[in-house]
Amino acid sequence: MNQKPESAIRRTRPAAWTRFARRRGAMAGAIMLLILAAAAFLTPLISPFSYDEVLWDRIGKSPDIASGHIMGTDFVGRDVFVRTMLGLAVSLVVGLSAASVSVLIGAAYGAIAGYTGGATEQIMMRVVDGLFAIPFMFVVILVMVVFGRNFFLLFVAIAAIQWLTMARITCAQTRILRQRGFIIAAELAGLHPALVILRHIAPNLGGLIVVYLTLTIPEIILIESFLSFLGMGVQEPLTSLGVLISDGAKEIYTAPWLLAAPVVTLTTCLISLNLIGDGLRSALDPKDASP
Amino acid sequence: MIRYIFGRLGIAAPTLLAVVTLSFFLLRAAPGGPFDSTRALPPEIEANLNALYGLDRPLTEQFTSYVGGVLRGDFGPSYRYRDVQVSDIVADALPVSLAIGGLGLSVTLILGIGVGAASALARGPALATALSVAISVGIAVPSFVSAPILALIFGVMLDILPVAGWGGGRAEHLILPMIVLGVPNAAFVARLMRASMLEQMTSESILAARARGASPRRIILRHILQPALIPVVSYLGPASASILTGSVVIEQLFALPGAGQAFIDASLNRDYTLVLGLVIVFATLVILLNLLTDILAGALNPRLRAGQ
């Protein structure tokens, strides 16, 4: 690839962070996510109620400020706000950890395929093509049926689905990097291929990895909620947003606040993550012309 | 083109075989047999049952005879329902899922391409912002959230649509499932369509067309819309997979007797042959649709055919 246009871009375009901060949608997303995350992780420390404490005098009460149950209580007499925040915390932790694992697997696979090239790359990427065509949700449910509802297994299964897109993108990017001067120089100096990937390719994939990490987290939160909704994810008394939505949907006619609390939380969380991901993508994309 | 089609077939066929093999051995490795119940069976009866279902033969022999059966459309007997063939259950349930899935895919394409194009061509920041907010919300609201809310609004408060049930496939029973299934995917298509149209709008071919004196209408239809549809066509395969997966939830929410419902029931019942049969049917459908999408995308975009 030609070096010249890139250096020209560097001079005229502000740094990625400034470009990100100028995007109102992305900044709004970042602020919303910070508030949500703070609420999710601080509520258990601050709130007078706990997520599994049964209050016998408050079974299925609607929200009221005076009693402190700002989102009401469920039919087991537990505080809905505290449970929703716990669900959000579980979703965020699962989302972040599974997304990190899958993005790293995808990036490593793609970088090795793209850097090696030739027949190896062809075979590795055709395997990805094949895996793409498998409806993985059914395989995940199959695995859950066979090995029981195991939280760790759920986590592994989700990570195993999500690495494919990352592998494709990294492979394409590495193929471009492979022809650049500094890579050829490193090769001529006799650097081991593994070190070329680690020291010279990986740092140049950083932006891409960050962007796809933020875009993968909401997808994983959705998958986890989907499986929990079907009763195959997190088990009681621990909870996740999918479990809360599934429970709330059953009581929609009698106790709509049970559905409203997790739905608003999940939707806000997903929207803010998507806004951040889109903002990062256009801030780091050299082709994007907007300042 | 022919070489390209054979290349794609060369990926689809081994993938399908891998799915069948993996699911077969995964289910055979599952703890607990199909006839486990609270009451222990006398050993002779258990041996007879195993012989009836061919479970006493070596695993590889079971596998080859199963694959042979599948190729003839025979998935064996259900482990849970006596004297019922898996093929019969699939034949009853699949049309329901295909009807909802087909309608959902139509909503996805019509709504997605329409909203995406409108959002790319929108004049004025107000409309563009409104459409882009609508797309973000559409992506972030999953079907298991929109279904109960829509059922509450249209089924209970307005009382104009049935809340659940199949009703022999009458139109009013299909409207809510179709919308709930189609809208999240439509939002994805709309985002894809908008991005790809915006890219086409800045390309030099537009400038060239304008210089030749092409009418604005022709520029939009021929030079922006048409090339912008290529990524949307490529997304059809993943979209159909996501619609099939979504129909598992939709069928639960609206109590529809489809293949997704049968799959969840079979999973909870540990009806291994039924689960296996349904996984193979779903996987075949998705792999075939992906193959069709790849061929269609290759026909539209010569660069795809020319090599990776």
In a domain, A1, yes or no: no
Inter-chain residue contact A138 with B144, CB threshold 8 Å: no
User: What are A97-137's pLDDT values in tens digits?
Assistant: 889 989 999 999 999 998 888 888 888 888 887 787 777 77
C-alpha to C-alpha distance for B125 and B9, rounded to whole angstroms: 46
User: What are A50-71's pLDDT values in tens digits?
Assistant: 766 676 666 666 677 666 666 6
Q: pLDDT value at position A7?
A: 46
DSSP run (H or E) holding A125:
helix A118-132
- Greater confidence, B19 or A269? A269
> At A132, which CATH number?
1.10.3720.10
In a domain, A169, yes or no: yes
In this complex, the residue of A142, A146, A270 whose CB is nearest that of residue B140 is A270
Provide the token pair at A17.
Answer: 């962070």
Inter-chain residue contact B144 with A229, CB threshold 8 Å: yes
pTM more than 0.90: no
In a domain, A42, yes or no: yes
Q: How many CA atoms lie within 13 A of B126 on its CB side?
A: 0
ipTM > 0.85? no
B203 contacts on A by Cβ (under 8 Å): none
Amino acid at A114: G
Ranked by mean pLDDT, the top range of A163-172, A236-245, A248-257, B33-42 is: A163-172
Inter-chain residue contact B275 with A142, CB threshold 8 Å: yes
Amino acid at B274: L
As a whole-number percent, the residues of chain B with pLDDT over 70 amount to 94
Q: How many CA atoms lie within 13 A of B217 on its CB side?
A: 0
User: What are B54-102's pLDDT values in tens digits?
Assistant: 777 777 888 888 888 888 878 887 777 777 888 888 888 888 888 899 9
What DSSP string describes A136-175? HHHHHHHHHHHH---HHHHHHHHHHHHHHHHHHHHHHHHH
C-alpha to C-alpha distance for A37 and A291, rounded to whole angstroms: 29
In a domain, A161, yes or no: yes
| Cβ B163 vs Cβ B177: under 8 Å | no
Q: How far is B212 from chain A (nearest CA, A)?
A: 26
A129 contacts on B by Cβ (under 8 Å): 11
In a domain, A188, yes or no: yes
A274 contacts on B by Cβ (under 8 Å): 136, 139-140
B264 contacts on A by Cβ (under 8 Å): 141, 230
Place of tokens 């010279």: A200
Residue A174 lies in domain = 31-283
Lowest mean pLDDT, pick from A8-12, A79-83, A185-189: A8-12
In a domain, A17, yes or no: no
Q: What are phi and psi of B49, to 5 degrees?
A: -60, -45
Inter-chain residue contact A142 with B279, CB threshold 8 Å: yes
In a domain, A12, yes or no: no
Inter-chain residue contact A246 with B248, CB threshold 8 Å: no
Count of domains for chain A: 1
In a domain, A9, yes or no: no
Lowest mean pLDDT, pick from A247-256, B12-21, B230-239: A247-256
Inter-chain residue contact B249 with A230, CB threshold 8 Å: yes
C-alpha to C-alpha distance for A32 and A27, rounded to whole angstroms: 9
A142 contacts on B by Cβ (under 8 Å): 23, 26-27, 267, 275, 279
Inter-chain residue contact B282 with A131, CB threshold 8 Å: no
Ranked by mean pLDDT, the top range of A148-162, B31-45, B234-248 is: B234-248
Nearest to A61 by CA among A263, A260, A258, A261: A258
- Residue A3's pLDDT band, with cuts at 50, 70 and 90, is very low
Q: What are phi and psi of A268, to 5 degrees?
A: -60, -45
Q: pLDDT value at position B105?
A: 92
